[in-house]
Amino acid sequence: MSSTTKSPKKVAKAALLVASRALPPYSHQFSPKKFTQPQLFACLVLKTIFKTDYRGITFFLADMPNLRRALGLKSVPHFTTLQKASQRLLKQSNITSLLSFTIAKLKKRIPLAAIDSTGFQSGHISPYYYSIREKAAKNLSWNHFKRWPKIAVIVDVVTHLIIACFPTRGPGRDTKHFKETLAQLPPDFSIRHLVADAGYDSEATHVYAREKLGIITTIPPTASPKPKHLPKKPYRRLMAVAFDSKAYKKRWQVETAFSMIKRNLGYTIRAKKEHAQNAEIVLLALTHNIKIVLLIKELFYRPK
């Protein structure tokens, strides 16, 4: 199982190194050039590490001169600078580039990967208050969480590194975001074998992955309602008669990755608007990759 570092300084240095390889120093030739884009990205990663908001991380940086020196900061960015940097840096094109550098040590052809999605709590209502409020209001429809932030990821089952991610909204069938998640795979990487749970059970899923992308898929053909007879479609029928149980046993590693994210970085999204929530969710995935100790060691000792 992969382990993660608890040192904010190591994480900050690794985030700075990843961003310096994935992003240009400045967003525009006429920008103020007070802070570089890699420095701002590293500040955003630290915001995630400390589970705070934009104002909060500015106080952390002000009180921690060692962190400022590690990032080469001569002054602390204003919280609005970080908020605007989040909107600019965490666009999908930049996310793919950043992810590609966080998985640089992996083989370009991933032997076995797992895809799944998980939801996050939006807002600051405690689970305990939610449970007692729901019990008290028996005749009241307590549907606060009609839609929630959600992320679909593809994880390398050996290292627990996220190799592709796609922010979306729940509830909904996982098959809806299958193509979009695969489309976020960095261009230099490919997958040989992909496993998924029954939420992705669909003939169209198999056809897209196998015939268009050349990826072997293993998905149990048990989507609700459970069929009484063998499926008629060829790939779903193949799953029923020749299911690869050995490969499918590795699918739970994606659940381990979700557990690592929520234990280490939290399960609550602070942002209110959808685009800001998407950026915050993706930042969780990037921070998760950067926190893995094996990744950080490889990045620091690999020559440019």
Judge whether residue 139 has pLDDT over 60: no
Tokens representing 67 are 């962190």
Give the pLDDT of residue 160: 94
User: 151 and 83 in one domain?
Assistant: no
Phi and psi at residue 104, to the nearest 5° = -60, -25
Give the pLDDT of residue 296: 57
pLDDT in tens, 3-38: 677 889 999 999 999 999 999 999 888 888 899 999
Owning domain of residue 35: 8-89
CA 111/CA 109 separation, integer angstroms: 6
Report the SS3 class of residue 50.
coil
Judge whether residue 297 has pLDDT over 70: no
Judge whether residue 304 has pLDDT over 50: no
Q: Which residues, at least 6 apart from 65, have a Cβ–Cβ distance to it below 8 Å?
A: none
pTM of the entire predicted model: 0.88
User: 261 and 153 in one domain?
Assistant: yes
Number of structural domains the chain divides into: 2
Is 78 among the domain residues? yes
User: 113 and 42 in one domain?
Assistant: no
CB 5 within 8 A of CB 45: no
CB 289 within 8 A of CB 162: yes
User: 114 and 67 in one domain?
Assistant: no
Is 249 among the domain residues? yes
Q: What is the CATH number of the domain that holds 205?
A: 3.30.420
